[in-house]
Amino acid sequence: MADPTPATPRPRSHDTREAILFGGVYGAVLACSMVAALSQYGHTSAAGRRYDAVWLLVTACASALAHGYAHYIAERTPQRSWDVLHSLAEEWPLVTAVLPTVFLLAGAGWGWWPAEGIEYPAFILNIVILFGLGLVTARRSRRSWFAAVLIGAVDALLGVVVVVANAFIK
């Protein structure tokens, strides 16, 4: 005899590669846009750069929490109460992707390198991260090296667009 109650669907589990790519791209673009804002409104003192590093990290964590909660709400099915925590924890790639920029800003704040002009190496770093994510993902999808480099370049262009858009907004 068949069970009259339908099975409770499990929430969609996000593929690890998908989560790393999405979170990495989201985090790198977020870092680019935050650094773009800092280049216009930021302070170039060491204390200001330490504050900027904390501000970027808090912004990334808030974005990750909001995104994880949005996934939880969008996939709302009868779930266990700790599934919301699992949805939030799956957003770690977003926060991880901004850590190199946080490190650059904090290092400038601690006097490891000049605090003034640190935005430019941060932009370059995030553009390289975007290129690398595109390249690695394309190669894992069995694309040719030419196609993978092209895809990486297009992904990096996203970071450049943020920088250029900021220049026009100023």
Q: What is the pTM of this model?
A: 0.80
Establish if 5 belongs to a structural domain.
no
Where do we find the tokens 């220049």?
Answer: 167
Establish if 11 belongs to a structural domain.
no
* Dist. CA 76–CA 69, nearest whole Å: 10
Counted domains in the chain: 1
pLDDT at 107: 95
Establish if 27 belongs to a structural domain.
yes
* Dist. CA 83–CA 45, nearest whole Å: 43
Establish if 136 belongs to a structural domain.
yes
For the chain, report the end-to-end CA distance as a whole number of angstroms: 70
Residues spanned by the domain of 88? 17-169
Establish if 3 belongs to a structural domain.
no
Establish if 6 belongs to a structural domain.
no
pLDDT at 39: 73
Establish if 24 belongs to a structural domain.
yes
Identity at 18, one-letter amino acid code: E
pLDDT at 9: 46
List for the chain the helix, strand, coil content (%; round to 5). Answer: 75, 0, 25
pLDDT at 132: 93
User: From first to last of its 170 residues, what are the pLDDT tens digits of the chain?
Assistant: 555 544 444 445 556 667 777 788 888 888 988 888 877 666 788 888 999 999 999 999 999 888 887 877 777 665 666 666 776 778 888 899 999 999 999 999 999 999 888 988 998 999 999 999 989 988 988 999 999 999 999 989 987 887 788 667 76
Establish if 44 belongs to a structural domain.
yes
pLDDT at 8: 46
